[in-house]
Chain A
Amino acid sequence: MSVQKLVFGAVLVVALVGLPGCAGNDRRDALSTQQGVAEVLQQQTEAQDAQGQATGQEYADAQQQSETPKKEFVGDAAPAFEQVDIDLTSMNADMVYATVYDMMANPAAYEGKTVRMTGPYYYTYYEPTAAIYYYVLIKDAMACCSQGLEFVWGDGSHALDEYPENGTEVIVTGTFKPYREGETLYVHLVGASLEAA
């Protein structure tokens, strides 16, 4: 083998080994701290919840309680529905996202149907209506987009401290019902049961 080929081969090997080391510390740090979409989503939701807290006394109490370890959430023993019309817990990611999308786009077609869903639970306080809204996040197949589906646990009389912590995986079964607030049409599950997943 000629000297030229040897030198070329040596330069190639050095380049292949040395080039990755040229990546700056910043990029390595960024890569090492890069978070998945799910984690970012959860952090943003929790941050929004933290910002949205204001006047509700119940909400302020919940904040104080959240500093101390909470009991593990138990919830309802079983859903109080004999038949489930739409069971999102048994569907794959594509169908879950498409079904929830269709429920949002055509709510009239789903009114009165029993829906069962699972996902991380969150609550948020909305100052204009002075109300706390409870919902489950449903992510799309690529986990880059998500939709929240609101629910009312039982008759809505449960106190906030009876609910699980934000981010807890839960199973919710309830009756699908559209409702209006102002001029906007929303949807939620009413008379719902809330179980730990």
Chain B
Amino acid sequence: MNGRDGRSTRFGLAGHGVTGGGIARRLLAAGAELVVHDPDAAALGRAQAAGAIMAGTAGVLAGAGVVVLCGPSPHAPRAASLLSAGTSVVSVADDLDDVRELLGLDVLARRVDATLLVGAAMAPGLSGLLARSLATQVHQVDELHVATHGTAGPACARQHHDSLGRTALGWHDGRWIEPPGGSGRDLVWFPEPIGAHDCYRAAVADPLLLHRAFPGVQRITARVSATRRDRLTARLPMLTPPHPAGDLGAVRVEARGAGPEGERVTVIAGASGPTAELAAAVAAAAALRLAEVGAPAGAHSLADDAVTHLDLLHHATHLGVTVQEFTGVARATHW
């Protein structure tokens, strides 16, 4: 695995859990040299058995060309430290506050001429790539609506749980709105085998990142699927421990707008599969392409114009993502 300068790129990975394991597998399969740090000795052992180099301390990762942050949030302090050392970073963080702070590292990244890719997982991440792809099919995009189902590892499940109990974020007719998490029910039909699930507003980062990438879009929403128990207990600690291996998940992105003749157009794309695998495929594609092709210095989401040359959706399909489109009559609900 050679970088832009033709030299071998060493990758770093912080966090070898369910998603991190999938990222490591893909990077190693691509022939990358990978250094892994995880506070859990068992996880480190698994990484070493898979062919990665163990890093005793997180500081060792700063010597890598590109580091993927895959542990629980917050990622911003570690990303700042790595960027200061001139290392480019790919973060899979989906916590709204963490993503805000990561975007705030833009100035630092530009100063040290490094790249920070923010939200490189299923949502945000694949959701942004699908939105960018859909935007090419609509003459003028007015609305973007993201819905997700499923969680990856335990950290992701906790984040999903917390997000339903916090204030959500949406972009509505030119201004930010902050509805309560768990409100705004909508029944969303995800790609099979997930099918239809009730989805609700939550404190997720997609609207923030999509608004950066598509500043002209009038309405941006993000919802996550949840059960009645999820909503009822969202403000309490998790009553049952999260599934250690994650579960099947899906992402669905709907773009509405106007066609060339002014007619209303709605296009929908999605993907389904083990949530951790979808996230891992996107993060690995981002890290590999960042090392191979490079990207402008600064903090970018995967949906940003500045990184479209990485062609991440295409490369993610080679790493396990199957993109689907909805063919039929999209029946608008109340979004």
Chains A and B are bound partners: no
